[in-house]
Structure 1
Amino acid sequence: MTAILQVTEQPTAQRYFTPEEYLALEETAEYKSEYLDGEIIPMTGGSTNHNQIAGNLYIALSLGLKKRNYRIFIGDVRLWVPKVRLYTYPDVMVTFGQPEYHNNRTDMITNPQVIVEVLSKSTKNYDRSDKFTFYKTLPSFREYILIDQTKIKVEQYSKTENKRWSYSEYDEEDTALVFNSFELEVPLSDVYEQVNFEEVEQENSQNEV
């Protein structure tokens, strides 16, 4: 009888990083990554629709909140969520008053009142579930806006009291997103200005081939 030698591959050990190591790597990295309790998670690249929507909302918020005690940030400003040890890059953030900086670094804040994420196919479930749970640990956080880039659909979660959130959904272009954290309405036509849904359909068709 011939003996059969079975070789089993040993699983590769997960490498964990300190926050300091992550920040040092992020300084020179070609692409952005999130950091979650020791793990570095590469972020997917953004589409033109993703970029357009985030820019549209940033402009609408900047104009609507002009000369009011709010600050608006987009893209490159990092958020630190201390209770879960998360560094991430929300698409848009709004703070009431001045931003509170983490470790005195002006590229990292800790006190957003409103967080906006433009959903992508690969991250939409994470944005709706775990990431929302992480954001809820921030004392300042009161409103979460999720924007679909493949069709007209905006989801809004607003904090009503301790651990209670209300939900609203917008899916018609002639309606307006009504913020609850401050008095401001943004027409969905402004949110989706110059967004091309045909590009998404073409991309999906190519992926199916």
Structure 2
Amino acid sequence: MSAQPTGGPMSLADYLTFEELSEARHELLRGQVRLMSGGTERHDLLVNAINVQLVQGLRGGPCRVFPHNRKLLTADGNIYYPDILVNCASAADRRYENDAVLVIEVLSPSNTRDELDDKLEHYLGLPSIRVYMTVDPESGAVTIYERHDLGWRSRMATRRADVKVEGFALDLAQAFMDVEGQVTT
């Protein structure tokens, strides 16, 4: 049986204890605990295909790639489980990351506009993040936010985009082709 959250706002310390005892994954947003839903087959295959490319491309360097199950603490105390995050620094706390350089969210039917707007605000508020991407596994639409000297630039792309990460070009076209070869539903 999983632990249940209390009714009021939860501190980071209480959340981390709660999450360790829980059988399900939860995010922490403004002190409120939110149950995570599972992804579709296409969603999970795309996360895996992108993850494989990143692990292979960044091998031998200082960066570590985490899919699905690694918490990311934002500057304002929220905790998310991005679909993929890349961190090139030592973790300050073994229970979560707080200085990712890349965050990728593969969209799910359960994503709401408000949820995506919250994530955008909180992810871009992390000084370490250089690239934040959302990828729609159905349409292939990609939104890329890149940090530059004067702030953030966003651009829309398609599944044919290459995205530079720590000197490595992520080949989204190949990731989508890998998914098409495996998807059964």
Is 1:160 matched up with 2:148? yes
Report what 2:73 is aligned to: 80
Larger radius of gyration: 1
User: Structure 1 length as normaliser, TM-score?
Assistant: 0.76
- Superposition pairs of residues 61-100 of structure 1, within 5 angstroms: 61-82=54-75, 84-96=76-88, 98-100=89-91
Alpha-carbon separation, structure 2, partners of 1:197 and 1:59: 17
Quick check: 2:50–2:172 contact (8 Å CA) kept in 1?
no
Following the alignment from structure 2 to structure 1, what is the Cα–Cα distance between the partners of residues 122 and 168?
Answer: 26
**Separation in structure 1 between the aligned mates of residue 138 and residue 184 of structure 2, nearest angstrom:** 9
Between the two proteins, the alignment pairs up a number of residues equal to 178
Task: Decide whether aligned partners of structure 1 residues 191 and 29 sit closer, same or farther in structure 2, where only a CA change above 3 A counts.
Answer: same
Match of 2:3 in 1: none
Deviations 1:26-69 (A, max 9, x none): 11222111112211111111222111111111110111112223
For structure 1, the residue ranges without an aligned partner over 5 or more in a row are 1-13, 200-209
Q: Distance in 1 between matches of 2:35 and 2:151?
A: 30
* Alignment-mate amino acid for residue 93 of structure 1: L
Deviations 1:175-198 (A, max 9, x none): 34222x422223333222134778
Q: Give per-residue Cα distances to partners, 1:9-33, cap 9 Å, x unaligned.
A: xxxxx52222222222211222111
Which TM-score applies when normalising by structure 2? Answer: 0.85
- By relative contact order (CA 8 Å, sep 6+), the higher-ranking structure is 2
The answer on whether the counterparts of 2:162 and 2:172 sit within 8 Å (CA) in structure 1 is yes
Q: Which moved more, 1:56-65 or 1:182-191?
A: 182-191
Partner of 2:179: 194
Counting aligned pairs with the same residue, the percent is 24
